[in-house]
């Protein structure tokens, strides 16, 4: 993570603030905060979606970057900072996530679906939450998510809007 390349003390202060607040938001908030339709699936359970098949399996982030929208020189790379983000997708559309960052572990599970180039995640546990979405694409063996999210960059308890970029590799 760096504020431009003049890191030094600014990076140290930012890391300390992030350590205190990085996981104060849920995993979905960290990863997929775009607005979904928020409504339940009126059709109920159905056969596995062929568009979902490429996601099935265990994935680990090679890159998980938040870029502050109000100052694009402020960037947090969770993986470069020693964090880890793992996600597992089941054929039935269930997902589970584990984020380890700055000594804190956050877990989440829920329901996922694909519509066109959008991946929608609806958290169920540890607490139900609104559906979020990211743009989904594949580049070689990597699954790539792009979207917007929120992160408290300065420790003031207010999450700022970010541009999110995640690159995952199948394990």
Per-residue pLDDT at 128 exceeds 80: yes
Residue 65: the pLDDT is: 96
Structure token pair of residue 155: 């420790």
Residue 66: the pLDDT is: 94
Residue 7: the pLDDT is: 31
Task: Find the helix or strand (DSSP H, E) in which 23 lies.
Answer: none
**In order of start, what are the domains of the chain with their CATH numbers?**
2-35+48-170 (2.40.128.280)
**Average pLDDT, stretch 144-159?**
86
Nearest to 93 by CA among 53, 133, 61, 132: 53
**Is the model more confident about 37 or about 48?**
48
Residue 169: the pLDDT is: 98
Residue 11: the pLDDT is: 36
């Amino acid at each position: 993570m760096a504020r431009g390349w003049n890191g030094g003390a600014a990076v140290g202060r930012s890391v300390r603030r992030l350590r205190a607040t990085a996981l104060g938001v849920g995993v979905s908030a960290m990863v997929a905060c775009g607005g979904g339709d928020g409504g339940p699936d009126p059709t109920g359970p159905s056969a596995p979606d062929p568009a979902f098949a490429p996601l099935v399996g265990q994935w680990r982030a090679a890159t998980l970057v938040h870029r502050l929208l109000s100052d694009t020189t402020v960037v947090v790379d969770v993986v470069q900072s020693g964090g880890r983000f793992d996600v597992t997708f089941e054929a039935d559309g269930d997902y589970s996530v584990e984020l380890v960052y700055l000594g804190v572990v956050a877990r989440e599970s829920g329901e996922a679906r694909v519509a066109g180039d959008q991946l929608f995640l609806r958290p169920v546990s540890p607490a139900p939450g609104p559906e979020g979405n990211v743009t989904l694409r594949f580049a070689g063996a990597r699954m790539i998510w792009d979207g917007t999210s929120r992160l408290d960059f300065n420790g003031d308890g207010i999450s700022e809007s970010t541009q999110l970029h995640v690159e995952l590799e199948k394990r």
